[in-house]
Amino acid sequence: MAADYETHQRQIAGILASWGMPQTYAEQTAEVMAWTDLHGIDSHGISMLTVYHRHVGNKRLRMEAVPTIATQGPVNALVDGDGGLGHAPARLAMSTAIEKARTIGIGIAVVRNSAHFGACGFYANMAAEAGLIGMVTTSASLIQVAPAGGAQARFGTDPLAFAAPGEPGRPFLLDMATTTVAAGRIRNKANEGLDCPPGWVLTKDGLPSVNPLETQNGGYLTSLGGSPEGSSYKGYGLSAMVNILAAGLSGATFPTDPQHTKKPQGMDIGHFFLAIDPGMFRPAEDFRAEVAAFCDALRATPPVDSAQPVMVAGDPERKHAAERGANGIPVAPGLKAKLKEIAEESGAEWLLD
């Protein structure tokens, strides 16, 4: 049985609040996580509560955190996440970047002292909905990816997102990890006792594997490209770029720093947000119209398989959102059992039955 979007969101907020997160931030965080699940990005939504639960238990997250703007200028802002989850400070940062872009044409914000913030695409989409170009990157806490040709983990999944307004309601919205798949998709396979498809993970010796628990045994996720022959150096390069923007500019620790995630509290993750007003260069309406026409031309490309038409970044997620908005958001049985245990332990009301 699938729950409707509102119930799904209320369940997330209830558990977060039961851990001590202020209600306003619990609702903001739950909106990001539920939006993620609605759009079919199951690796970054309600399933993350199982990970957050572990961090709350070992006191690595400051659930009562209140994000603040530490410093700012005409086009820039530095947000301090206060050692808590990253969703609320990320929303503050992108909202601030958007305000600055509306005023002066460009806005850049970074977040320090933060933790996992969900899907990058949510924040890039905030910019697109405001008629702006948006770009978002974030560093990671879990180091589980070796550089191309390397035999030791140096990176996280280090995602990035890019959005541009086009047809209203259908922006170009690219959201991707710099690994072959997001770590959450591997975690979801483990939750359900399923193997990974070939190419997702490697053993500690760098050999192919389908075991979703491989990274717990010293193995690695593959960089985008999967292998040197598949151009994994490109994913490696993108990971480095992401960390320079998100960790380097914010002052968060790089993943190669021996002190990364070693602070008494908090995950010390950094985020980067960019908003650009296309109206600085040409009439914004013309830009949007041409982006929309460009995307439509791509969709009109003759497909190899007539049953699988060509899509543009953001289309698959919007298709999921339409289906799940009508039929509810599914939660796999293994995950639901774990979430129910977490809710009962924390005293949160259980809503998903």
Does one domain contain both 23 and 168? Answer: no
Radius of gyration of the chain (CA): 20
Q: What angle do CA 72, 78, 79 make, to 5 degrees?
A: 120
Q: Which two tokens stand for residue 173?
A: 């919205």
Largest Cα–Cα separation, the chain: 56
DSSP code, position 255? T
Residue 337 neighbours by CB under 8 Å, 6+ apart: none
Residue predicted with more confidence, 231 or 305: 305
Q: For the whole model, what pTM was predicted? A: 0.93
DSSP-H helix ranges across 65-182? 87-104, 120-129
CB 269 within 8 A of CB 158: no
Does one domain contain both 29 and 167? Answer: no
For residues 140-165, give the mean pLDDT.
90
- Is 214 inside any structural domain? no
- CA-based nearest residue to 116, from 140, 81, 150: 140
Percent of the chain, pLDDT > 70? 99
Q: Which two tokens stand for residue 333?
A: 């049985």
For residues 319-337, give the mean pLDDT.
96
Does one domain contain both 49 and 103? Answer: no
Q: Which amino acid type is present at position 96?
A: T
The answer to whether residue 325 scores a pLDDT higher than 90 is yes
DSSP code, position 192? T
- Is 303 inside any structural domain? no
- Is 186 inside any structural domain? no
Domain housing 38: 1-58+314-353
Does one domain contain both 154 and 263? Answer: yes
Does one domain contain both 229 and 141? Answer: yes
- Spatial distance between the Cα atoms of 248 and 197, rounded to a whole number of angstroms: 34
Does one domain contain both 95 and 237? Answer: yes
- CA-based nearest residue to 97, from 324, 271, 310, 317: 271
Does one domain contain both 231 and 136? Answer: yes
For residues 30-35, give the mean pLDDT.
98
- CA-based nearest residue to 87, from 18, 158, 13: 13
- Spatial distance between the Cα atoms of 287 and 14, rounded to a whole number of angstroms: 42
Percent of the chain, pLDDT > 90? 79
- Is 189 inside any structural domain? no
Q: With both helix axes pointing from N to C terminus, report the angle between 5-18 and 23-38 in degrees, rounded to the nearest 10.
A: 140
Does one domain contain both 110 and 135? Answer: yes
Three-state DSSP class for residue 80? strand
* pLDDT tens-digit series, residues 54-93: 999 999 899 999 999 999 999 999 999 999 999 999 999 9
- Spatial distance between the Cα atoms of 127 and 134, rounded to a whole number of angstroms: 5
- Per-residue confidence (pLDDT) for residue 157, from 0 to 100: 92
CB 110 within 8 A of CB 249: yes
The answer to whether residue 229 scores a pLDDT higher than 80 is no
Residue predicted with more confidence, 232 or 42: 42
Q: What pairs with residue 303 in β-bridges?
A: none
- Is 301 inside any structural domain? no
Three-state DSSP class for residue 133? strand
- Per-residue confidence (pLDDT) for residue 232, from 0 to 100: 84
In this structure, the chain runs to a length of: 353
CB 136 within 8 A of CB 245: no
Strand order in the sheet with 201-202: 208-209, 201-202, 220-221
Does one domain contain both 82 and 42? Answer: no
CB 79 within 8 A of CB 68: yes
Query: What CATH number does the domain containing 158 carry?
Result: 3.30.1370.60
- Is 295 inside any structural domain? no
Residue found under tokens 């993970």: 201
- Out of 268, 285, 302, a domain closes at 285
- Spatial distance between the Cα atoms of 225 and 274, rounded to a whole number of angstroms: 26
Does one domain contain both 47 and 137? Answer: no
Does one domain contain both 167 and 257? Answer: yes
What are the backbone angles phi and psi of residue 220, rounded to the nearest 5°?
Answer: -135, 155
For residues 294-316, give the mean pLDDT.
97
Query: Backbone dihedral region of 40: left (phi > 0), alpha (psi from -120 to 50 degrees) or beta?
Result: left
Q: Which amino acid type is present at position 29?
A: T
What are the backbone angles phi and psi of residue 255, rounded to the nearest 5°?
Answer: -65, -20
Does one domain contain both 256 and 152? Answer: yes
Q: Give how many domains the chain has, as a whole number.
A: 2
Query: What CATH number does the domain containing 38 carry?
Result: 1.10.1530.10
- Is 300 inside any structural domain? no
- CA-based nearest residue to 291, from 124, 122, 125, 128: 128
- CA-based nearest residue to 85, from 109, 51, 108: 51
- Spatial distance between the Cα atoms of 268 and 284, rounded to a whole number of angstroms: 37
- Is 336 inside any structural domain? yes
* pLDDT tens-digit series, residues 8-25: 999 999 999 999 999 999
